[in-house]
Structure 1
Amino acid sequence: MRRQLAPSDPRPGAAPTSRSTPLTSPTRLLDPRPVAAVAVRLGDLAALVEGSHRLSRSAADTVVSGLTLASADVRAGDLYAALPGKHTHGVRYAPAAVQAGAAAVLTDEVGAAELGAPPDSTTAERPTLAQVPVVVADDPRALLGDVAAEVYGRPAERLLMIGVTGTQGKTTVTYLMEAALRVAGRTPGLVGTTGSLADGQRIASRLTTPEAPDLHALLAVMREQGVSACAMEVSSHALVQGRVDGVVFDVAVFLNLGRDHLDFHGDVDSYFAAKAQLFTPQRTVRAVIDVGDAWGRRLAAETAQRGLPHTTCTASPDIHEPAADWTVAEVSVRSDGSDFVIVGPAGQRQAVRLLLPGSFNVRNALAAVAALVEAGLPLTQVAAGIGRASGLPGRMELVDEGQDFSAIVDYAHKPDAVEAVLVALRPATAGRLLVVLGAGGDRDPGKRPLMGAIAARRSDVLVVTDDNPRTEDPAAIRSQLLAGVDTTEPHAELVEEPDRAVAIRRAVSMARAGDTVLVAGKGHETGQEVAGVVHPFDDRQVLRVMVRARLDQERPPSTPAVGP
């Protein structure tokens, strides 16, 4: 095998490794709970689950003003949802929740039994049913969306809600929508992988799609901040786990489907079925579906059978695809973006100048435009807004220190995404394409050799390194990536370097004028998770440090002053 195992760097003053890279300064976050609480009677909430609950009459007048699944997040007046978890039941934390001010508990029969049982030697004293009002439901998780919506005043009903799902492109599409909404005179909100925003202000959040109680609280915060429309990423996990329950979207968008999350869903058909849950009359008023792949065409057919109004789009038509309502024409790809014309259902044409590099972003832009126009916004304003969007965090993000080669960070961490980015970069690269790539631990291992094979086939130099190993053996993950490389002939020059920072430095040191260095996999992330510990690490910062260090080495020494 043509592989080089890179030694550790012996030089003094070497650039920092993944254990010492500093984080950016934190920005002030908006509180993820609304300032104005909505007081709701527990009896009214219990009525939402009529037929599957128990609640004493004396407890019906208890007032709750918030809802949370996490005992550490409980505030005075909250309803604490004590649900069964992967390792333990949330009822074990009910004492802490009550001590923090929880006004009531929502749980299942198992939780209710534990609440009423005497404490054992391994647990703290537990509140009994007589001490705290308890709503007991057969499936409390299934109720969280409706209960949270009621507790927070049903904020989604007072927002234009657009949900976006797909294996690739969700973050880009929602950011494009945010820019277009602003130009169209709407005050935008955003929920997704890189965080939640209310009119440009960041709201503290943890997941791509927050749990239902947190989501409705976020939407209530947006309403307080004057937000009128929200573009939201909707993951397959969120749909299966009920995190978007209680929200009916005005428009739901399907982008594509590739291999991902099979560790959770089991197979691609189940993954598709999870995403298809969004495209029902119970979850959305209207759908926009990209029919550029077979999964999109299948979804369009199923959506039609359900009687859900929908429109289709594709930026890559060929003779095998049906005609779409929204298409593109006159596409011209530049190194820093694209120019193209959007063609609408009625034959309307609108020129767009996109500032996001990569031909795949034409497809993302088309989906964003189609969704917003279907939501009632003017095409000209939407196109103008799309044209202003640039600099998405960790998505084809350029690191420019004046060097004579390109340095780019991208979040590509799935086979299709890796291929799309490399295909986009190849024509824009005069020289060689150098790629730094790893794979995340505790995730679908089947995609690792596929990623390795694609990267080896599409690049000239491949540096295999660690991503977020999490609880897995990093060397085993790298071996699975390299197994894919071994199936590809001919393949790129290969380097294996466990330390991600050193791997980035090696790629930068090998770059020549006209080359492109791509650091793929982590994008906007600011930490590297190893054995349960998240170490500060930002690919963008590390790449910038390495580029600067190389430029400093290349600068000629200053000419000493000559005295009289």
Structure 2
Amino acid sequence: MAITLLDLTKIIGGTLVGDSADAADTAADLSLSAIGLDSSNFPEREAVFAAVPGTRTHGAQFAHKDGAANAVAILTDEAGFEILREAGETRPVVVVGNIREVLGQASSLIYGEPSKDFTLIGVTGTSGKTTTSYLLEKGLIEAGHKVGLIGTTGTRIDGEAVPTKLTTPEAPTLQALFARMRDHGVSHVVMEVSSHALSLGRVAGSDFDVAAFTNLSQDHLDFHPTMEDYFDAKALFFRADSPLAAQKHVVCIDDSWGVRMAEEAANAQTVSTQGQEADFRAVDISVGDSGAQQFHIVTPENESYSVELALPGAFNIANATLAFAAATRVGVDASAFARGMSKVHVPGRMERIDEGQDFLAVVDYAHKPAAVAAVLDTLRAQIDGRLGVVIGAGGDRDATKRGPMGQLSAQRADLVIVTDDNPRSEDPATIRAAVTQGAHDGAAESPREVEVLEIGDRAEAIRVLVQWAQPGDGIVVAGKGHEVGQLVAGVTHHFDDREQVREALHNKLSHKTDAQTTDKG
């Protein structure tokens, strides 16, 4: 049943502007079925416009533009109301102290609290969110469930792609997605939950059955002033006194942040892949020549489940064990779930590019220091030859991680090519300089001879890396993974690392064949 504007106002503690009997009667009769905060992409039915303060301007400035002009009511704060009043606004306005604090709850109520109608699993952490979400999706499908997925690579409803922009969408978009999934008969929803989403209350009003924590390392320090603040944002998903906390928790304790999160979490079970005592443990780990892995997961009941994982890397064993723990905490068939994980391939995450070459080529999304180090360590363990990497850093983001990314790369690789990632509005040369300096520092600390190159053109950097590789070597293009665009000075240009690696490999192999033919002639 649709909620009325008057009931919504009472529940969220707002003030309905205009205290006459007519205003109250109007609000009591006004049923709401949608809410939005983007005037250019606004719901067409009985919708509320959420006028949210921004970093540069207030959303109330857009209340009469595009689709927002058709809103039946407006939700805003005091500053927004002043803008509306001066503009001569005549529609009902609900005023609250802090709109971000109530937007999630309001959106959920308007869409009929959809997350209460399915099992909702949230995954947070610095690295591994997308892979863990994919593992959950495949495992749940294998166990016979109809699944929705929301995350970095997009949204899927029962396997059908739905375009979205953010890892965790804004609350109105998120609750609309939940309602759509509910209406499609989805039984389980898996979603990545970013620290931004937790800090800004995007997931407020969502009824999470279980929250999973992967790990924590340096990232987003442009948004969070310190690592402690970054941890506190993640902890909103786990602490008993947090209004955003899930009902149950699973926490990977392979790093010190995970150990701390497990101590602070309510109703938590732990996951370990490195021999620590934990509720869920990965044991008997073996790695094939292709990087595929086999291991067993031991449960709190001391039951053992065999897992075959096509994804390489010790960190993916942690992701799989965490996914398994989260699924079993909500009653999913463990054997079927374990079988489903064997079918997972994640775009742009340790994705092998094979054009018949005699060396290993990988594209990965790693764009933070710890993730870059983990990828390079994984590849080093799989090859007998040299290791090369193309690395860059994004503009308008945490600048303090640029040097460490270059440093950790040079400590592990034989060739480091520093290039552009997504410069955004920054000078690309300035970003490259910081990464390159870090790479030189790392090279000076390395026991092996390391070559450091700076090539701004990303396509050329990839071509040089591929040309450098010899039989038995390994190369990785890090940073963009599944992305198909490069953002430079406000313009997004088509760019896909996977396409570029394939083209470079094809050209190298073609020239090799031509040379062999010439020699025979």
Structure 1: distance between partners of 2:338 and 2:376: 27
Describe the shift of the 1:53–1:294 C-alpha distance in structure 2 as closer, same or farther (beyond 3 A): farther
Where do residues 542-553 of structure 1 align in structure 2 (5 Å cutoff)?
542-553=500-511
List alignment gaps of at least 5 residues for structure 2: none
What secondary structure, in the 3-state scheme, does the structure 1 residue paired with 2:180 have?
helix
The answer as to whether partners of 1:80 and 1:97 remain within 8 angstroms in 2 is: no
Q: Given the alignment of the two structures, is residue 153 of structure 1 paired with residue 122 of structure 2, yes or no? A: no
Which of 228, 237, 255 aligns to 1:293? It is 255
Describe the shift of the 1:106–1:93 C-alpha distance in structure 2 as closer, same or farther (beyond 3 A): same
Which of 29, 49, 53 aligns to 1:80? It is 49
Describe the shift of the 1:338–1:98 C-alpha distance in structure 2 as closer, same or farther (beyond 3 A): closer
Describe the shift of the 1:552–1:382 C-alpha distance in structure 2 as closer, same or farther (beyond 3 A): same
Describe the shift of the 1:559–1:486 C-alpha distance in structure 2 as closer, same or farther (beyond 3 A): closer
Structure 1: distance between partners of 2:452 and 2:262: 42
List alignment gaps of at least 5 residues for structure 1: 1-37, 118-125
The answer as to whether partners of 2:17 and 2:92 remain within 8 angstroms in 1 is: no
Structure 2: distance between partners of 1:452 and 1:558: 37
Q: Given the alignment of the two structures, is residue 181 of structure 1 paired with residue 160 of structure 2, yes or no? A: no
Where do residues 277-292 of structure 1 align in structure 2 (5 Å cutoff)?
277-281=236-240, 282=243, 283-292=245-254
- My pick for the range that moved more, 518-527 or 542-551, is 542-551
Q: Residue in 2 aligned with 1:238?
A: 197
Where do residues 250-399 of structure 1 align in structure 2 (5 Å cutoff)?
250-281=209-240, 282=243, 283-303=245-265, 308-317=266-275, 321=276, 323-334=277-288, 335-389=290-344, 391-399=345-353
Structure 2: distance between partners of 1:200 and 1:51: 39
Where do residues 96-115 of structure 1 align in structure 2 (5 Å cutoff)?
96-97=65-66, 100-115=69-84
Shift of residue 140 of structure 1? 1.6
Q: Residue in 2 aligned with 1:512?
A: 470
Q: Residue in 1 aligned with 2:32?
A: 64
Structure 2: distance between partners of 1:442 and 1:383: 40
Q: List structure 1 segments (4+ residues) > 6 angstroms apart after TM superposition.
A: 557-560
The answer as to whether partners of 1:64 and 1:104 remain within 8 angstroms in 2 is: no
Describe the shift of the 1:52–1:273 C-alpha distance in structure 2 as closer, same or farther (beyond 3 A): farther
Shift of residue 364 of structure 1? 0.7
The answer as to whether partners of 1:66 and 1:151 remain within 8 angstroms in 2 is: yes
Q: Given the alignment of the two structures, is residue 47 of structure 1 paired with residue 22 of structure 2, yes or no? A: no
Q: Residue in 1 aligned with 2:451?
A: 493
Q: Residue in 2 aligned with 1:13?
A: none
Shift of residue 43 of structure 1? 1.2
Letter in 1 for 2:500: V
Shift of residue 51 of structure 1? 5.5
The answer as to whether partners of 1:53 and 1:137 remain within 8 angstroms in 2 is: no
Structure 1: distance between partners of 2:183 and 2:326: 25
The answer as to whether partners of 2:139 and 2:338 remain within 8 angstroms in 1 is: yes
Q: Residue in 2 aligned with 1:438?
A: 392
Where do residues 447-486 of structure 1 align in structure 2 (5 Å cutoff)?
447-486=401-440
Shift of residue 42 of structure 1? 1.2
Q: Residue in 2 aligned with 1:168?
A: 127
Structure 2: distance between partners of 1:275 and 1:559: 59
Structure 2: distance between partners of 1:87 and 1:555: 57
Q: Given the alignment of the two structures, is residue 226 of structure 1 paired with residue 185 of structure 2, yes or no? A: yes
Q: Residue in 2 aligned with 1:10?
A: none
Q: Residue in 1 aligned with 2:362?
A: 408
Using the size of structure 1 for normalisation, the TM-score is: 0.87
Describe the shift of the 1:311–1:356 C-alpha distance in structure 2 as closer, same or farther (beyond 3 A): same
Letter in 1 for 2:400: G
Letter in 1 for 2:59: G
What secondary structure, in the 3-state scheme, does the structure 2 residue paired with 1:446 have?
helix
Q: Given the alignment of the two structures, is residue 93 of structure 1 paired with residue 47 of structure 2, yes or no? A: no
Alpha-carbon displacement from aligned partner over 1:471-499 (angstroms, at most 9, x marks no partner) = 11111111111121222223521111000
Shift of residue 62 of structure 1? 2.0
The answer as to whether partners of 2:41 and 2:67 remain within 8 angstroms in 1 is: no
Structure 2: distance between partners of 1:546 and 1:522: 17
Q: Residue in 2 aligned with 1:22?
A: none
Letter in 2 for 1:64: L
Shift of residue 226 of structure 1? 2.3
Structure 2: distance between partners of 1:59 and 1:52: 14
What secondary structure, in the 3-state scheme, does the structure 2 residue paired with 1:435 have?
strand
Describe the shift of the 1:100–1:94 C-alpha distance in structure 2 as closer, same or farther (beyond 3 A): closer
Alpha-carbon displacement from aligned partner over 1:255-301 (angstroms, at most 9, x marks no partner) = 11101111111110000000000013442110001111111111111
Describe the shift of the 1:102–1:387 C-alpha distance in structure 2 as closer, same or farther (beyond 3 A): same
What secondary structure, in the 3-state scheme, does the structure 2 residue paired with 1:71 have?
coil
What secondary structure, in the 3-state scheme, does the structure 2 residue paired with 1:418 have?
helix
The answer as to whether partners of 1:463 and 1:496 remain within 8 angstroms in 2 is: yes
Shift of residue 52 of structure 1? 4.8
Describe the shift of the 1:302–1:75 C-alpha distance in structure 2 as closer, same or farther (beyond 3 A): closer
Alpha-carbon displacement from aligned partner over 1:328-361 (angstroms, at most 9, x marks no partner) = 1110022331011111111111111111111211
Structure 2: distance between partners of 1:374 and 1:328: 17
Describe the shift of the 1:99–1:440 C-alpha distance in structure 2 as closer, same or farther (beyond 3 A): closer
Describe the shift of the 1:450–1:486 C-alpha distance in structure 2 as closer, same or farther (beyond 3 A): same
Describe the shift of the 1:559–1:482 C-alpha distance in structure 2 as closer, same or farther (beyond 3 A): closer
What secondary structure, in the 3-state scheme, does the structure 2 residue paired with 1:246 have?
coil
- My pick for the range that moved more, 446-455 or 224-233, is 224-233
Letter in 1 for 2:312: P
Structure 1: distance between partners of 2:278 and 2:387: 35
Structure 2: distance between partners of 1:416 and 1:553: 37
Shift of residue 552 of structure 1? 1.6
What secondary structure, in the 3-state scheme, does the structure 1 residue paired with 2:408 have?
helix
The answer as to whether partners of 1:74 and 1:100 remain within 8 angstroms in 2 is: no
The answer as to whether partners of 1:89 and 1:111 remain within 8 angstroms in 2 is: yes
The answer as to whether partners of 1:314 and 1:327 remain within 8 angstroms in 2 is: yes
Letter in 2 for 1:436: V
Shift of residue 100 of structure 1? 4.5
The answer as to whether partners of 2:282 and 2:296 remain within 8 angstroms in 1 is: yes
- How many residues of Structure 1 are paired with residues of Structure 2 in the alignment? 504
Shift of residue 201 of structure 1? 0.6
Higher relative contact order (CA 8 A, sep 6+): 1
Structure 1: distance between partners of 2:432 and 2:67: 46
Describe the shift of the 1:438–1:99 C-alpha distance in structure 2 as closer, same or farther (beyond 3 A): closer
Letter in 2 for 1:423: D
Question: Identity across aligned pairs (percent)?
Answer: 46
Q: Residue in 2 aligned with 1:121?
A: none
Q: Residue in 1 aligned with 2:380?
A: 426
The answer as to whether partners of 1:180 and 1:381 remain within 8 angstroms in 2 is: yes
The answer as to whether partners of 2:291 and 2:382 remain within 8 angstroms in 1 is: no
Using the size of structure 2 for normalisation, the TM-score is: 0.94
